[in-house]
Amino acid sequence: MKHNIEELLSTHGVKPTPQRAVIADYLLETHCHPTADEVFQAVKDKLPVALSRATVYNTLNALVTAGVIQEMTTEAGRVRYDANMSDHHHFVDIESGKVFDIPAETIKQINLELGDKFKVHKFHVTIFGEVKE
Amino acid sequence: MKHNIEELLSTHGVKPTPQRAVIADYLLETHCHPTADEVFQAVKDKLPVALSRATVYNTLNALVTAGVIQEMTTEAGRVRYDANMSDHHHFVDIESGKVFDIPAETIKQINLELGDKFKVHKFHVTIFGEVKE
DNA sequence: TCCACGGTTAGAATTAGTCTAAATACAGAC
DNA sequence: GTCTGTATTTAGACTAATTCTAACCGTGGA
Ligand SMILES: [Mn+2]
Ligand SMILES: [Mn+2]
Ligand SMILES: [Zn+2]
Ligand SMILES: [Zn+2]
């Protein structure tokens, strides 16, 4: 664990436990936007006790609610989790399905002409394409 | 049925059947980006025979493959269907969850500075906000 | 020490979606 | 018009993702 997980969880109002720490730590170190089951597979052997899927889901939902991570989606229907909470968008390699973070500043300008009826809180750009090499 | 469904399906290589026609017709007339189950509920009594969920899913998948409709998603994990095939983005009312189509021209400019590594095929903007009144 | 409470667990339940096998519908051949 | 092969539909079984339930810890405070 390279990150100070306990402090991160505490400052977000989530009581640190070994299960939560190992899940949050995995999410912070990976960049692969894993599904719940990928999180489960990745961390289940890192604890001295058995890990329940219910705990994984409970923890992921708690972390989302606390603002430590966010949900995102690429293919319709598969929920993925992302510990990168900076303002960013996503590039999806249409061949491999791999997801890359694209900083918000990378999108130079996006002007919306939505009229008076729509008040924009935030927007998210999902980009589909190919990664070279 | 206001639309010429049979012709639409035929020109896309989907053999028209009563089940497919009623499903496609519903998708063309609604603007609500329904889920598979919402489609099922909306059309099941419009046929003289019982309608199977399998047929709804088969038809939706066939229409997506044929390019008659597209899948989209707002909340993580729920697949929705959209018969608007024009180039457009989506505005989600964060209170009601209602989805509004935003023509692509509404977004005046979006310049991406992704470098040589990423080749963009398409992108989609999901906007979250409130609808006034 | 005892208790209350939050957290975890295994497994059951639910839900969305796919698969299977049997029944139907139907277009073309005769 | 009948025959027959193929496509479609159907009900229900199945699977996978997620939530729920109820029992079981573990810990900090009375
Ligand atoms: Mn969720
Ligand atoms: Mn699908
Ligand atoms: Zn990300
Ligand atoms: Zn749309």
- pLDDT tens-place string over residues B47-103: 999 999 999 999 999 999 999 999 999 888 889 999 999 999 999 998 888 999 999
Three-state DSSP class for A26? helix
Q: What is the mean pLDDT of chain A?
A: 92
Of A57, A78, A99, the position where a domain reaches its end is A78
Task: Give the integer Cα–Cα distance in Å for B90 and B73.
Answer: 10
Quick one: A34 and A74 in the same domain? Answer: yes
Q: Residues in chain B, how many?
A: 133
How many contiguous H segments (helices) and E segments (strands) does chain B have? 4, 6
Widest CA span in chain B: 57
User: So what's the pLDDT on residue B115?
Assistant: 85
The pTM assigned to this predicted structure is 0.88
Does B132 reach chain A within 8 Å, measured CB to CB? yes
Task: Give the integer Cα–Cα distance in Å for B114 and B117.
Answer: 7
- B116 lies in a domain? yes
Quick one: A73 and A34 in the same domain? Answer: yes
| CA of residue A70 to ligand 1 center, whole Å | 10
| CA of residue A71 to ligand 1 center, whole Å | 7
Three-state DSSP class for B7? helix
Quick one: A56 and A121 in the same domain? Answer: no
Quick one: B69 and B115 in the same domain? Answer: no
Three-state DSSP class for A52? coil
State how many domains chain A has: 2
User: So what's the pLDDT on residue B9?
Assistant: 95
Q: Which domain holds residue A22?
A: 5-78
Protein residues closer than 7 Å by CB to strand C: A 14-15, 17-20, 47, 49-55, 58-59, 77; B 35-37, 53-54, 57, 61, 78-79
User: So what's the pLDDT on residue B1?
Assistant: 53
Backbone region of residue A115 per phi and psi (left: phi > 0; alpha: psi in -120 to 50; beta: other values): left
